[in-house]
Chain A
Amino acid sequence: MSGDHSDATIARRVRRLETLLEDKGVLSGARLDEIIDATLTGATPANGARVVARAWVDEEFRSRLLADGTAAVRELGFMEGSYQRLRVVENTATTHNVIVCTLCSCYPLRLLGPSPSWYKSEAYRSRVVREPRAVLAEFGLELPAGTDITVWDSSAETRYMVLPRRPEGTRELGEEQLAALVTRNALIGTAPV
């Protein structure tokens, strides 16, 4: 069964496929390297953290971000040329948002880079739409009773990101310091910040 394939076996098959595609003139190794670099460079959760910090300090940016996420993050140089839309959903004192893709693993890759393994797991994908409170508790996030939870199941071309609440006691912090507080999980909705 494929699951028993060792890493070495799959690595060898991947190399062999690459060679076959090169021999057939379908793919060049140089072009593949370029594409991999482009995939890995620039797309990290730090981008999302920057977007969040800007929204926390700039009320007008926050409004634009919630109205049209794609356009607002492009102001900061993110998601240029992407055909996907970005919708940013805001947590408040009484509402909490969490992102999933139950059918596969849709995620704002162009902005945040590859998703964490748990996001792609069957456990997370199957359960968060059914029992979000229990799943969030497993992440250590206990929401007050009465919090309205919305689970966004990314089933088409829109990608989602959560705008977490600005923590208390951060009035003195600048934008960069604020960005450093924001975790990847908070951008997905499984951490408060």
Chain B
Amino acid sequence: MPADRFPPGTRVRTFPHDPPHHTRLPRYARGKRGVVIEPEGPAELADVSAQGRGDAPVEQVYAVRFAARDLWGEGDHHVVLDLWESYLEEDHGHER
């Protein structure tokens, strides 16, 4: 088992794509910055599996924590989503 691409604490950014098929990245969390809490374990990528294909890749899923302010521009709560690895990229420009 290779090491996880995004260890706990990694700052990530979700992909901004609006795919023409089933996905488990809600629109409110697209193109948003968050922090990886920890890996949740591997799972078949829902986007591909939903097309009834037997070749869905298995990817690590990460619990990712978002500040309400980064999602909605206001609010003091946090939202956690479980996101497949291909929904995420490392966020190098997170200086604030």
Contact = CB atoms under 8 A, between A and B. Distances in A.
The reply to whether A and B meet directly (CB within 8 Å) is yes
Interface of A: 85, 87, 102-103, 129-133, 148-158
Nearest to B77: A149
Interface string B66-88: 00000110011111111110000
Contacts of B81: 153, 155
A101 to B, nearest CB: 10
28 contacts: A87-B40, A103-B26, A129-B28, A129-B79, A131-B75, A133-B77, A148-B76, A149-B76, A149-B77, A149-B78, A150-B65, A150-B77, A150-B78, A150-B80, A151-B77, A152-B79, A153-B79, A153-B81, A154-B82, A155-B25, A155-B81, A155-B82, A156-B61, A156-B82, A156-B84, A157-B40, A157-B41, A158-B41
A149 B25 CA distance: 21
Nearest to A160: B80
A130 B61 contact: no
Main secondary structure of the interface of A (DSSP, over half): mixed
Contact of B24 (A85, A103, A131, A152): A103
B80 A151 contact: yes
Contacts of A148: 76-78
Contacts of B83: 155-156
Main secondary structure of the interface of B (DSSP, over half): strand
A148 B46 CA distance: 31
A156 B46 contact: yes
Contacts of A158: 40-41, 61, 63, 82
Contacts of A152: 79-80
Contacts of A85: 40-41
Contacts of B72: 130
Contacts of A149: 76-78
A156 B79 contact: no
B26 A132 contact: no
Nearest to A130: B72
Contacts of B77: 132-133, 148-151
Contacts of B75: 130-131
Interface in B9-66: 24-26, 28, 40-41, 43, 46, 61, 63, 65
